[in-house]
């Protein structure tokens, strides 16, 4: 009885089908969950669409003009930039110092290093809403521990979350506290990957002091890690939402209003989907531009291992 043989597919076609089977589901998910919604948001930003409405009008750039001319919109943009300007440099500097300290402690006592590492990483592992509630209790003007301690040492307490001049700086300080632990882990990974023989070579060349070793070996070799931390921190800073929504709700008098919270308020409280979409696009442009700027500028000074 004769057997029927199935012709084998060419290797190139077989490889293409294999690649399609592996990449196809993820690509389809990205198209459906990321790119298509992004295109829809971009289109809606040029309309006056409201959730539940059966029709909408094409209004061009009116939503964007309103965002940058309205007092509330300008305040949200300024507050976001101000918040990021504090959180990005402060969290990076503090996390690098903490990582270097923990890395040094780990060289003589790993148990203590693990305790410090866990303590600083706790804010990252905890729920931000729960941590924000704890901060609300700590910063209470009359019952909060912060003001009680300040009164004990002779410094008058402040209305940290209800004073228009202090509220945004207070939220930025909380943002630094939330970000330091995550950045510390990234810097620890970068410090652990620096070859020890580079420090020995630097010591032979005369760089035997801690500060000299840092500038000649540690800092240049942390270039890729620093660039990554910069981008991640910038993204987290621009999309601050949980602490604002839990502690201040953008108040008092929009003094702590940010782009992401304004997008939530306009879209899901006032149901102004078109205006909220415009805020989303401005947020995306800010993050993308800042990320590209940092990559272009920092890439020239990064030393890859």
Residue 36 lies in a domain: no
**Domain containing 222 — which CATH number?**
1.10.3720.10
pLDDT band at 118 (very low <50, low <70, confident <90, very high): confident
Residue 28 lies in a domain: no
pLDDT tens digits, one per residue of 211-258: 888 888 888 888 888 888 988 898 889 889 989 998 999 988 899 999
pLDDT tens digits, one per residue of 155-165: 878 899 999 99
pLDDT band at 4 (very low <50, low <70, confident <90, very high): very low
Q: What is the mean pLDDT of the chain?
A: 85
C-alpha to C-alpha distance for 209 and 202, rounded to whole angstroms? 10
Q: How many separate domains does the chain show?
A: 1
Residues 6+ apart with CB under 8 A from 211: none
- The answer to whether residue 304 scores a pLDDT higher than 70 is no
Interaxial angle between packed helices 110-125 and 71-106, expressed in degrees from 0 to 180 and rounded to the nearest 10: 160
pLDDT tens digits, one per residue of 58-87: 998 999 999 899 888 899 999 999 999 999
C-alpha to C-alpha distance for 247 and 162, rounded to whole angstroms? 10
The domain containing residue 200 runs over which residues?
Answer: 70-299
What 8-state DSSP symbol labels residue 143?
T
Residues 6+ apart with CB under 8 A from 255: 75, 79, 164, 167, 168, 248
Q: 3-class SS at 140?
A: coil
The predicted pLDDT at position 1 comes to 45
Residue 106 lies in a domain: yes
- The answer to whether residue 207 scores a pLDDT higher than 80 is no
Residue 20 lies in a domain: no
Residue 15 lies in a domain: no
Residue 139 lies in a domain: yes
The predicted pLDDT at position 298 comes to 62
Q: pLDDT over 70 for what percent of the chain? A: 94
pLDDT band at 177 (very low <50, low <70, confident <90, very high): very high
The predicted pLDDT at position 112 comes to 85
Residue 1 lies in a domain: no
C-alpha to C-alpha distance for 259 and 268, rounded to whole angstroms? 14
Q: Which of 18-22, 95-99, 280-284 has the lowest mean pLDDT?
A: 18-22
The predicted pLDDT at position 86 comes to 95
Residue 9 lies in a domain: no
**C-beta separation of 275 from 61 below 8 A:** no
């Amino acid at each position: 009885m004769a057997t029927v043989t199935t012709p084998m597919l060419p290797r190139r076609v077989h490889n293409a089908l294999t690649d399609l089977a592996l990449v196809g589901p993820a690509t389809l998910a990205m198209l459906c969950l990321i790119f298509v919604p992004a295109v829809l948001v971009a289109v809606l930003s040029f309309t006056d669409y409201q959730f539940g409405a059966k029709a909408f009008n094409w209004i061009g750039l009116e939503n964007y003009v309103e965002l940058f001319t309205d007092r509330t919109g300008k305040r949200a943009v300024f507050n976001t930039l101000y918040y990021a300007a504090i959180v990005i440099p402060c969290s990076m500097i503090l996390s690098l110092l903490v990582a270097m300290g923990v890395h040094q402690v780990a060289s003589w006592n790993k148990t203590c290093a693990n305790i410090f590492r866990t303590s600083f990483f706790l804010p990252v592992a905890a729920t931000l809403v729960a941590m924000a509630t704890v901060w609300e209790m700590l910063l209470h003007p009359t019952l909060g521990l912060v003001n009680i301690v300040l009164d004990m040492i002779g410094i008058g307490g402040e209305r940290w979350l209800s004073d228009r001049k202090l509220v945004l700086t207070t939220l930025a300080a909380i943002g630094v506290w939330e970000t330091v632990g995550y950045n510390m882990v990234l810097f620890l990974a970068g410090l652990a990957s620096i070859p020890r023989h580079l420090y020995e070579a630097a010591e032979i060349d005369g760089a035997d002091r801690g500060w000299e070793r840092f500038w000649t070996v540690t800092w240049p070799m942390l270039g890729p890690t620093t660039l990554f931390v910069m981008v991640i921190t910038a993204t987290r800073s621009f999309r601050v939402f949980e602490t604002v929504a839990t502690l201040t709700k953008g108040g008092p008098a929009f003094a702590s209003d940010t782009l992401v919270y304004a997008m939530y308020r306009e879209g899901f409280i006032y149901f102004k989907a078109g205006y909220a979409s415009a805020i989303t696009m401005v947020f995306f442009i800010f993050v993308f531009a800042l990320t590209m700027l940092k990559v272009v500028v920092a890439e020239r000074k990064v030393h890859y291992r």
